[in-house]
Chain A
C-alpha cells in the first residue's frame, strides 16, 4: 500500500508536469491572435505600450522562464487574470464549494440510481420493465443538459414554482442548499444514469452465467442473496472506474453546461467565462485542477478496485 502510494504520487507529479506543459504551450505561447501583450494592450496601443506590457508580464523572456514563472504563480497563489485582474486561486476557491456540492451530490445520485436501474433491467432482461428502462436510458443519454435544464427551470421552476429557478445557497443553510441543488443534481445525473445503467445491465448479464453464480445457487442461497452478494458485487468494477473519471472531470469544472444553466457560479462557470474572455491564465489553472482531480480519483478508484476484486494487486 505504501509503495503504491509513493509510486502513484510520482506518476501524479509527472502527469501534472506533462499536462501543464502542453496546456501552457497551447494557451500562452500558441495563443490565437499572436502576442498576448498585444491583446492585453488593446487595439489602440502604441508599440511602446505593448513593449512595456510585454516587459511587465515577462512575455519577452524565453519560453521556459515564462513557463516556470507561470507555474510558480499558480502554485503560490499569486497568479492574476490578465483580463479581470482578479487572483485566479481565490476565484477558483470561491467556485469550489458550489462545484463540489454539485459534483458529489450528483455523483452519489447517479451512481446509486444506476445500480438500481441497471440491476432491475438485468433481472427483467427482455421483459417489459427492461424495455421501458432501455428507452428511458436512451432518452437520458441523448437529452442535452441545456435543454433538460431549460425545461425544468421553465416548467418546474417558473410555471409550477416547485423548485428554485437558479442560484446556489451555501451549505451553512442545509435545507436551502439542498433545495437549490435538486434540479442541477438531477440534470447532471440523467446522462450518467443512462450510460452507467446500460453498462451495469450488460455486466450483470455476463456475470449471471458465471460458474460461481451457479455454485451460489447450489449452496441454497436465495435469489436476492445470490444477486446482491455474488452477481452485483462482481459486476461493479466497470462502473466504479467510470465513476471515478467522470466525477473527477465534474469536480474539475467539467459541468460547464449544468453550472451555466442554473447560474451556479462554480469552477465550470468560471471556465466558461474564461473561455469567453480569452482568460488563459485562469483557464490554465482550471485545466491543472481538472488534471489533478482525474489523477487523484484515478488512484482512489484503483484502491477501490483492489477492494472489489482481490485478484487485482496494487502496484
Chain B
C-alpha cells in the first residue's frame, strides 16, 4: 500500500432512484479512499448497493429518475458532477470495469478483436487500426488466451465463459486504467475458472499500480486478494478495515453473520451451516436506525438511532464500524461455538 495521495476519494456518496413505489435509496452515504496498487473489496448481499455504487463512479447510473449526491474525486476530476463528455473520456480509459456476466457482456455480433480495438481507438484516435490490433493481441496474450492473434478473429460465442471474462479483462486493461472496478468478476464462472481469473487480477496488481475495486459477495475471494474490505448492508457501509482486521476482529454483527456462513473445510461437516436469519430490507422502506437491527440478535434500544461509521476499537484507528455495542461486548458476543458467527443464526442444510 502506498502512502501517497489517494487514487480515488469517495465522500458521502448517495444514490437513490425515484420509482413508482417510492424512493429507492440504493447507496446511502458511502465514503472511502483507494490508493494506487491497492485492492479494495466491497462485500455485501445482493441489493446492498455495491454495484450501483460502482456504476455511479463511472456515471452509468445517471438518468431522469436517479438522484446522485456526494463527491467522488479521481485525480483532478469530480465524477459525480462531471459532464457526460468528460465521463466519456474517463470511462474505459482512467476507470475500467469488468462485469459479472461474461456471457452477455460482449456484443455477440462483433469479433472480439474489433471490440478491443474499438475501446483503444475511441480514447486515442491517433492509434491506427493495425497498432490497436497489435495491442489487442498483446493484451489477450497477457491475460492468458492462447493463439491470441488468431483468437482476435473469433466471435464471443466461440469462447467459453472463463475465456470471455479474460477478454473482458483484456479490454478493461486496454487503455491502462488507473482504477479497475471488477463487479463480481468470478460469480458466473466455475470454481476452477474463478481461481484463474483471480490469479489474473493478482498478476495485474503486481504489474501495474492500478487500484482495484473488487465487488463480491464471496468472502473466500476477498480473503484471497484484498488489502482492505468494506462491508455494505442495505446501502450503507457497516464495517471498513484491513483484511486482517475484518477477518480476525470483525466488529459488526452483520460481518459476523457473513463470516459464520462461510463453508470451511475445518468445520465439522455433520453440523448445519449457519445462515443469517431474515431477509435484507427493501431499499424502499429501510428500518429506522441501524439497517441491520431487525435481523440482529444483539439489538437493543440504542439501535433505533443510526450509529456513526467510526473507529471504536482503541488499538485500530483505521477500523471503522457502525454498531453501538462496546468493543469488549462484541468480542464476547461474536464467538459462537469456537468460531466467529451470529448467535441466533439459523442452521440450514450444508
Contacts and interface: CB of A to CB of B under 8 A. Distances in A.
Interface of A: 210-212, 214-223, 225, 229-230, 233-234, 308-311
A310 B109 contact: yes
Interface stretch (B92-100, B274-282, B287-295, B316-324): B92-100
A186 B89 CA distance: 43
Contacts of A309: 108-109
B88 A233 contact: no
B99 A214 contact: yes
A117 to B, nearest CB: 23
A310 to B, nearest CB: 5
12 contacts: A211-B104, A214-B60, A218-B58, A218-B92, A218-B97, A219-B92, A220-B92, A223-B84, A308-B109, A310-B109, A310-B155, A311-B155
Interface in B64-113: 84, 88-93, 96-97, 99, 101, 104-109
Contacts of B97: 218
B96 A218 contact: yes
Interface of A is mostly: helix
Given A220-B119, A310-B155, A234 B108 contact: yes
Query: Which residue, of B107, B108, B122, B171, has the highest number of chain A Cβ atoms within 10 A?
Result: B107
Contacts of A210: 104
Nearest to A218: B97
A212 B108 contact: yes
Band of interface residues on B: 20 to 34
Contacts of A220: 88-93, 119, 122-123
B106 A212 contact: yes
A215 to B, nearest CB: 5
B9 interface: no
Contacts of A212: 104-108
Query: Which residue, of A218, A233, A234, A311, has the highest number of chain B Cβ atoms within 10 A?
Result: A218
A225 B105 CA distance: 17
A126 to B, nearest CB: 9
A210 B58 CA distance: 17
Given A309-B109, A311-B155, 10 more contacts: A212-B106, A214-B99, A215-B168, A218-B60, A219-B119, A220-B89, A220-B91, A220-B92, A308-B109, A311-B157
A131 to B, nearest CB: 16
Contact of A211 (B91, B93, B101, B155): B101
B118 interface: yes
A143 to B, nearest CB: 34
Query: Which residue, of A212, A214, A223, A225, has the highest number of chain B Cβ atoms within 10 A?
Result: A212
A216 B93 contact: no
A204 to B, nearest CB: 15
A312 to B, nearest CB: 10
B157 A215 contact: no
Nearest to B96: A218
Given A217-B60, A219-B122, A220-B93, A311 B105 contact: no
A214 B105 contact: yes
Interface in B30-69: 58, 60
Nearest to B58: A218
Contacts of A218: 58, 60, 91-92, 96-97, 99
Contacts of B105: 211-212, 214-215
A102 to B, nearest CB: 33
B155 A219 contact: no
Contacts of B101: 211
Contacts of B88: 220-222
Nearest to A211: B104
A222 B91 CA distance: 10
Contacts of A311: 108, 155, 157
Contacts of A211: 99, 101, 104-105
Nearest to B107: A212
Interface in B305-325: none
Contacts of A216: 107
Contacts of B119: 219-220
Contact of A215 (B107, B122, B123, B155): B107
Contacts of A225: 122
Nearest to A223: B84
A222 B66 CA distance: 20
